[in-house]
């Protein structure tokens, strides 16, 4: 379908433009050229479609460039990481209240530098402030504090996360003065008042933690959940029920459809559900993520129940996604948008086939009347909620790096209770707004379903293998979706075609082997491409049990291994985890000193990798047997063995330099720890210092050389022992 291809090209253009910066006028003219060429070749359909798709890609890129702010003197981010300033602005979103602080999104109007007049600026900042005095939506503020660039600590890129929401500056615990109230959108202010009233109604009707869970499920605010319970939801893979997305909307749709079906026609039921979703969106505050989820859920109702055209559903879904990204192209990176889109697409693709398949199996077991009752119970409460996760699970693993091994059991046990939570919790909230005492009684019914959910979440979270951390990157996600698409295509074929396909595969061994080899080769090539150097410096402190082992990867992929721990098998496994599968070279290996807990693991490395250079502290053979084995392995593999020389600089390339700080000619013959190789790695403004097992004598010697010791990261000497890290040395570092 052409419309599907065009929208996909639009999304591709937005994504590509985040990597390639094309000037807006150039991109706009280029898109017009492609569209014009498409019209010129309209008689040649394939060429015309190709040119039009190219125009759509460029146009998507142009829209993205319009959304990305220019950081100049008129943008607030220009003043990051500088002096303390005065900022005037207005709170434009519901305050995010935590236990000890509150986060405010403030649209700025002006900034005043010390001893200067106010300058008009634009942009949004994130302010972390004390909870009291209370600050609300629409309050106009004067903020006195220091603007900072959001951090990127390697584990979580907070800078990119906020940039995708249009935020490039943060202010932490500034002085704040409220100068006016109700300065923002009055309609949204009323909506948030309703949400706050609903929150209060729930808190008065139900005790915690059930109330906190219901607020999370109904209102999308999980800040009140106890930390341990929140962790249990993550471990069991059940966080999707407390983060409003397409999944929650699918449950609400089921509840509303179940309520309307006995009294209304099919179209009337769809209207009833759509109105219910709209009211729910207002109730929870009409946040952008909720609006997106409601829009896509309403779309599912429209095409499935009103139009009765499932073949039109995907195109309609893409229309909705197009309109959302047309308004805000940065939404493409919002997890809420991605999960809502994936959940809705899952429903469109898999809900009916799954229901038909289960219905057929149930009909084989029970009589017609009983099978209809069984299907009435499990169709939307179990099947639809499970099928909504088929396309969301890879996203969850990609985003959170965690796979719950009890998720299937948790979903099977907990999901059937969620319609009860939604129904009775929603009624308790709505009725409680008008008749508080009746709301409390209805809240007791909701409490039963909430307590049931909490019981199973807490119980399953205690299972020792409940959850595992996984490295699930973009390439793995792409391959997973490709596999899902292939399986869906095969299973969606008529039975006769499926049988013919499998028979063809069975009867064509050569073709099957060639095809399989090609598929495997494609996977290998993709993984090879994905594992190429990313232009950053990486330092991994390997978990080798006893001893030290540090792996350094330079921006272009050169490798430095410092020590190897005590256990060869563990070191080899860690190297296999952190090095690309095709990487079989260690450029520099450093054996800081002969102790077994530093060099035992290095011996087997020579069997698996080509080691170009081994740097040692200069000990002769005979210090330890394992050290002799390292030297022998290096000699057998013709590795260059180099003795560390104080002051020498080893140029690694990419701007990475190693400077040797120790040992010098004054060796300590009584304690070989004091002869450990100490080196300082520098890369731009970054410095990393490692000193092996160097103790007081070695640290004093390094101080006397006058060589630079300052470091951004310091790996404490001798595993943090009290014989190392003396105060003068730490002061210099």
Q: For residue range 639-659, list pLDDT tens digits in order.
A: 999 888 888 888 887 788 999
Q: Quick check: 410 and 457 in contact, CB under 8 A?
A: yes
pLDDT score for 283: 67
**Does pLDDT of 471 surpass 80?**
no
Mean pLDDT of 526-545: 77
Mean pLDDT of 271-298: 73
Q: Which residues contact 385 (CB under 8 A, 6 or more apart)?
A: 247, 250, 251, 254, 411, 415, 418
pLDDT, tens digit, 9 for 90 and up, residues 225-260: 777 888 888 888 777 777 666 566 766 777 777 777
Q: Quick check: 459 and 516 in contact, CB under 8 A?
A: no
**Does pLDDT of 395 surpass 70?**
yes
pLDDT score for 529: 58
pLDDT score for 510: 59
pLDDT score for 544: 85
Stretch among 369-378, 536-545, 611-620 having the lowest mean pLDDT? 369-378
pLDDT, tens digit, 9 for 90 and up, residues 24-44: 888 888 888 888 888 888 788
Binned at pLDDT 50, 70 and 90, residue 631 comes out as: very high
pLDDT score for 513: 65
pLDDT score for 88: 93
Backbone torsions φ then ψ of 303, nearest 5 degrees? -80, -30
SS3 call for 342:
helix
176: which 2 tokens? 């704040």
Distance CA 564, CA 555 (A): 22
pLDDT, tens digit, 9 for 90 and up, residues 420-469: 887 788 888 888 888 888 888 888 888 888 889 889 888 988 887 777 76
Pairwise pLDDT comparison (516 vs 59), residue with the higher score: 59
Q: pTM, whole model, 2 decimals?
A: 0.59
pLDDT score for 214: 86
CA distances from 410 to 234, 237, 253, 422, 460 (A): 11, 8, 22, 18, 7
Distance CA 393, CA 583 (A): 31
Other C-beta atoms closer than 10 Å to the C-beta of 114 total 8
Of 190, 186, 195, whose CA–CA distance to 283 is shortest? 195
pLDDT, tens digit, 9 for 90 and up, residues 400-424: 777 777 877 787 788 778 778 877 8
CA atoms within 13 A on the CB side of 733: 26
Binned at pLDDT 50, 70 and 90, residue 190 comes out as: confident
pLDDT, tens digit, 9 for 90 and up, residues 314-334: 777 788 788 888 888 888 887
Of 178, 179, 186, 69, whose CA–CA distance to 122 is shortest? 69
Q: Quick check: 51 and 316 in contact, CB under 8 A?
A: no
Q: Quick check: 468 and 244 in contact, CB under 8 A?
A: no
pLDDT, tens digit, 9 for 90 and up, residues 615-630: 998 888 888 888 998 9
Q: Which residues contact 227 (CB under 8 A, 6 or more apart)?
A: none
pLDDT score for 390: 81
pLDDT, tens digit, 9 for 90 and up, residues 290-306: 776 777 677 767 766 66
Distance CA 442, CA 709 (A): 67
Backbone torsions φ then ψ of 112, nearest 5 degrees? -125, 120
SS3 call for 449:
helix
**Does pLDDT of 725 surpass 70?**
yes
Residue whose tokens read 């019981």: 455
**Does pLDDT of 541 surpass 90?**
yes
Calculate what percentage of the chain has a pLDDT beyond 70. Answer: 88
In terms of average pLDDT, the best of 268-282, 293-307, 343-357, 667-681 is 667-681
Calculate what percentage of the chain has a pLDDT beyond 90. Answer: 11
pLDDT score for 583: 80
179: which 2 tokens? 């100068």
SS3 call for 454:
helix
Of 235, 220, 217, whose CA–CA distance to 409 is shortest? 235
pLDDT, tens digit, 9 for 90 and up, residues 509-534: 556 666 666 666 666 666 665 566 77
Distance CA 358, CA 203 (A): 40
Other C-beta atoms closer than 10 Å to the C-beta of 143 total 22
Q: At what angle do helices 210-219 and 186-205 cross, to 10 degrees?
A: 150
| Pairing relationship of beta strands 167-172 and 124-129 according to DSSP bridges | parallel
586: which 2 tokens? 């260690």
CA distances from 54 to 65, 420, 558 (A): 17, 49, 38
432: which 2 tokens? 């409680």
Mean pLDDT of the chain: 81
Of 698, 609, 608, 605, whose CA–CA distance to 660 is shortest? 698
CA distances from 508 to 491, 497, 500 (A): 21, 16, 12
pLDDT score for 376: 62
pLDDT, tens digit, 9 for 90 and up, residues 118-175: 889 988 999 998 887 888 888 999 999 899 888 876 556 677 778 877 888 999 999 9
**Does pLDDT of 313 surpass 70?**
no
Pairwise pLDDT comparison (4 vs 513), residue with the higher score: 4
pLDDT score for 590: 93
For the chain, the C-alpha Rg in angstroms (whole number) is: 31
């Amino acid at each position: 379908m052409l419309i599907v291809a065009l929208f996909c090209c639009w999304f591709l253009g937005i994504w590509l433009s985040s990597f390639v910066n094309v000037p807006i006028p150039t991109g706009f003219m280029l898109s017009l050229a492609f569209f014009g060429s498409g019209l010129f070749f309209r008689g040649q359909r394939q060429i015309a479609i190709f040119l039009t798709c190219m125009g759509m890609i460029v146009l998507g890129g142009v829209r993205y460039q319009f959304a990305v702010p220019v950081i100049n003197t008129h943008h607030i981010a220009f003043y990051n990481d500088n002096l303390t300033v005065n900022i005037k602005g207005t709170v434009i979103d519901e305050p995010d209240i935590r236990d000890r602080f509150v986060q405010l999104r403030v649209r700025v109007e002006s900034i005043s530098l010390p001893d200067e007049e106010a300058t008009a600026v634009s942009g949004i900042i994130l302010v972390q402030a004390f909870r009291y005095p209370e600050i609300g939506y629409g309050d106009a503020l004067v903020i006195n504090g220091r603007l900072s660039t959001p951090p990127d600590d390697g584990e979580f890129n907070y800078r990119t996360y906020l940039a995708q929401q249009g935020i490039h500056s943060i202010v932490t615990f500034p002085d704040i003065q409220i100068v006016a109230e109700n300065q923002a959108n009055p309609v949204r202010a009323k909506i948030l008042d309703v949400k706050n009233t609903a929150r209060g109604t729930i808190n008065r009707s139900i005790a915690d933690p059930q109330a906190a869970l219901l607020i999370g499920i109904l209102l999308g605010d999980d800040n009140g959940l106890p930390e341990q319970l929140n962790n249990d939801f993550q471990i069991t893979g059940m966080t999707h029920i407390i983060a409003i997305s397409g999944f929650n909307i699918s449950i609400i749709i089921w509840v509303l459809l179940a309520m309307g079906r006995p009294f209304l026609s099919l179209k009337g039921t769809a209207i009833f559900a759509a109105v219910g979703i709209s009211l729910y969106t207002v109730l929870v505050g009409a946040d952008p993520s909720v609006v997106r989820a409601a829009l896509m859920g309403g779309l599912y109702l429209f095409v499935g129940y009103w139009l009765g055209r499932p073949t039109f559903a995907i195109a309609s879904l893409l229309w909705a996604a197009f309109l959302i990204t047309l308004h805000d192209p940065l939404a493409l990176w919002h997890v809420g948008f991605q999960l809502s889109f994936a959940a809705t697409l899952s429903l469109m693709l898999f809900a009916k086939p799954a229901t038909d398949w289960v219905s057929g199996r149930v009909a084989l077991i029970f009589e017609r009347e009983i099978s209809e009752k069984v299907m009435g119970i499990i169709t939307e409460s179990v099947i639809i909620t499970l099928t909504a996760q088929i396309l969301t699970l890879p996203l969850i693993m990609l985003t959170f790096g965690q796979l719950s091994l009890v998720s299937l059991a948790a979903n099977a046990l907990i999901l059937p209770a969620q319609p009860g939570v939604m129904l009775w919790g929603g009624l308790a909230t709505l009725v409680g707004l008008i008749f508080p005492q009746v709301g409390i009684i209805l809240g007791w019914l909701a409490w039963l379903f909430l307590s049931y959910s909490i019981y199973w979440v807490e119980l399953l979270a205690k299972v020792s293998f409940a959850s595992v951390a996984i490295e699930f990157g973009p390439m793995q996600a792409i391959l997973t979706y490709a596999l899902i698409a292939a399986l869906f295509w095969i299973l969606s074929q008529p039975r006769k075609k499926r049988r013919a396909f499998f028979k063809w595969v069975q009867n064509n061994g050569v073709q099957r082997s060639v095809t399989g080899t090609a598929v495997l080769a494609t996977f290998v090539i993709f993984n090879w491409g994905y594992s190429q150097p990313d232009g950053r410096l990486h330092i991994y402190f390997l978990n080798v049990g006893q001893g030290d082992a540090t792996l350094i990867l330079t921006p272009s992929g050169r490798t430095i291994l410092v020590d190897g721990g005590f256990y060869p098998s563990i070191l080899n496994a860690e190297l296999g985890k952190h090095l690309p599968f095709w990487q079989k070279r260690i450029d520099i290996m450093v054996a800081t000193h002969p102790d077994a807990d530093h060099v035992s693991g290095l011996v087997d490395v020579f069997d698996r990798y080509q080691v170009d250079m081994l740097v040692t502290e200069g000990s002769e053979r005979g210090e330890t047997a394992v050290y002799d084995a390292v030297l022998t392995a290096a000699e057998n593999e013709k590795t260059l063995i180099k003795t560390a020389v104080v002051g020498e600089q080893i140029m690694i390339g990419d701007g990475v330099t190693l400077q040797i700080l120790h040992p010098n000619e004054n060796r300590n013959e009584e304690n070989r720890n004091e002869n450990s190789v100490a080196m300082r790695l520098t890369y731009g403004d970054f410095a990393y210092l490692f000193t092996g097992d160097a103790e007081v004598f070695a640290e004093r010697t390094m101080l006397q050389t006058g060589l630079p010791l300052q470091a951004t990261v310091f790996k404490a000497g001798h595993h943090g022992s009290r014989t190392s890290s003396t105060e003068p040395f730490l002061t210099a570092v």
